[in-house]
Structure formats: C-alpha cells, structure tokens
Structure 1
C-alpha cells in the first residue's frame, strides 16, 4: 500500500475539519456573553487557509499540513471554550 500524496492528505484533512468545526457560524452566535478567545477571528483565519488549499495549484508540503492542523486545533479549542462545539 502506498502513502497518499500531500495533496490527497490535505484534502482528507480539510474534509475532517469541515466535519468537526462549524465554519458557517453566524456572528450573533459567536459573540454572545463572555468570550474566551476570538472565535470569529479564528474561524476566519481557518476558512481562509482552507479556501486557499482547496483552490490552489500549489503542492502542499508537510509543513503546510502541520500548519493547517495547528490552526484547526487552536480554533476547535477556542470554540469549545466558548461552548460553540460539543
């Protein structure tokens, strides 16, 4: 069995992120009550990164995969802290 290319790995990671992180939250949902980290800014940054890799002709490297993983993990932690994900 051969290893997937980084492009295939990136697309699989993006699919997993979209399954676990609600990228389409309304600002009114995000900005209620006490805020423990800016969910809006993190979601915007994550969405920008995902959009770039979905439509880019550039072959992602391992560093790019790790960067997207880090951004998505930080975003998830902030959303969880703000009770926007289970």
Structure 2
C-alpha cells in the first residue's frame, strides 16, 4: 500500500491547483475536482491507517488502485494529464 501511495503521488497531479477546479464547461467528463478529492481523501485515510499500524487487506489495496486508475482515466478525458 505504501508503494501504491507513492506511485499515486508521483503520477497524479494531486496538489496542483489546476486539477482542483470545478469546470462548468460543457465538455467536462466527470468533475476533476470531485475525482481528485476522492483520491486525496482515500490517500490521507490510508496514510493515517498505515502510520497507526493497520495492515490493509488485499481487497483494500485493489479498491484503492482501481479508484486511482479510474480517476486518472477521467483526468486524461478532461485533458488534465
């Protein structure tokens, strides 16, 4: 999970201001702001859990990876990546 979190931080523009905007543009496919908030929330949650000594189950890792993959796909559709 720690490796996955590091990879997500490297590949997704989590803390860049351009990705945390609400585009009222009609060509918007999925809200980039909401997508990034979802990833940020899960990422923060798992960082805290890992620091507390909680070991994630395989399903938790799979679910987080799938979320990140889908968010990345949404960002590509919106031309943010």
TM-score (norm 2): 0.84
Which 5+ residue runs of structure 1 have no aligned equivalent?
Answer: 1-9
Matched residue, 1:6: none
The 5 Å alignment of 1:1-80 reads: 10-26=1-17, 27-28=20-21, 31=23, 33=25, 34-56=27-49, 57=52, 58-80=54-76
Q: Which structure carries more relative contact order (alpha carbon 8 Å, separation 6+)?
A: 1
Question: What is the count of residue pairs matched by the alignment?
Answer: 75
Per-residue deviation, 1:32: 6.4
Cα deviation, 1:34-70, whole Å, max 9, x if unaligned, reads 2111111111011000001111122101001001101
Which 5+ residue runs of structure 2 have no aligned equivalent?
Answer: none
Structure number with greater Rg is: 1
Taking only aligned residues, the RMSD between alpha carbons, in angstroms, comes to 1.4
